[in-house]
Structures are given as structure tokens and as C-alpha cells.
Amino acid sequence: MGFLHGGMAAAFADSALATIAWETTDSASVTMRLSIDYLNPVRLGDWLMAEAQVAGVDGDIVHVDGQLTRNERQIVCHAVGVFHLVRRKVN
């Protein structure tokens, strides 16, 4: 149909938010909550990029904010996630 399905964008955002939670805490996590606000479509041929930052850590709960942008300039969606830490990284 020429554009990315919102569920695929949500999966990409979830993965990006979980990755920054992993990198910040050195622990694996599971998604407790994911909220997505869709702002613009992603069209066929667009370059999609994710950016995320940890907003806070409270014990084994990590709060993360992020966004997806297309073609490095237009925000596609804003994402907020809450993750539960389940185990430490194995080196």
C-alpha cells in the first residue's frame, strides 16, 4: 500500500526503547507498557531512525522516552515505554 503499518513502527520503537534500557542498566527487560503517538506516515523508501533515552530507573522498573524519525528530519511517532528488569547481562 506504500506505507509502513503502525504495528511495525511500534515493534521497531519497542525494540529501540528496550535496547537503551539494556545498555543503561546492563540488564534484560520485558515491556510492561508501550504508548505510541503516531504523527506522520512512513512511506516506501523512507529511512526510519529510532532515538531513545532513559527517563528514570526505579528499582527494577525503567522508564524510557523515544521517537522515530523518517529521513532524519520528520518525527513519525513519539513512544513512551516502561520496562521490568528481569536479569543481568552475561559477559
Structure confidence at residue 72 (pLDDT): 80
As a whole number of angstroms, the distance between CA 27 and CA 25 comes to 5
pTM tops 0.85, yes or no: yes
- Residue that the C-alpha cell 539494556 belongs to: 22
**Mind listing the domains of the chain with CATH numbers?**
6-88 (3.10.129.10)
* Per-residue pLDDT tens digits of the chain, which is 91 residues long: 888 999 999 999 999 999 999 999 999 999 999 999 999 999 999 999 999 999 999 999 999 999 999 998 899 999 999 999 997 766 5
Structure confidence at residue 8 (pLDDT): 95
As a whole number of angstroms, the distance between CA 62 and CA 76 comes to 23
Is residue 79 within 8 Å of residue 66, measured between CB atoms?
yes
- Residue that the C-alpha cell 531512525 belongs to: 49
Is residue 16 within 8 Å of residue 52, measured between CB atoms?
yes
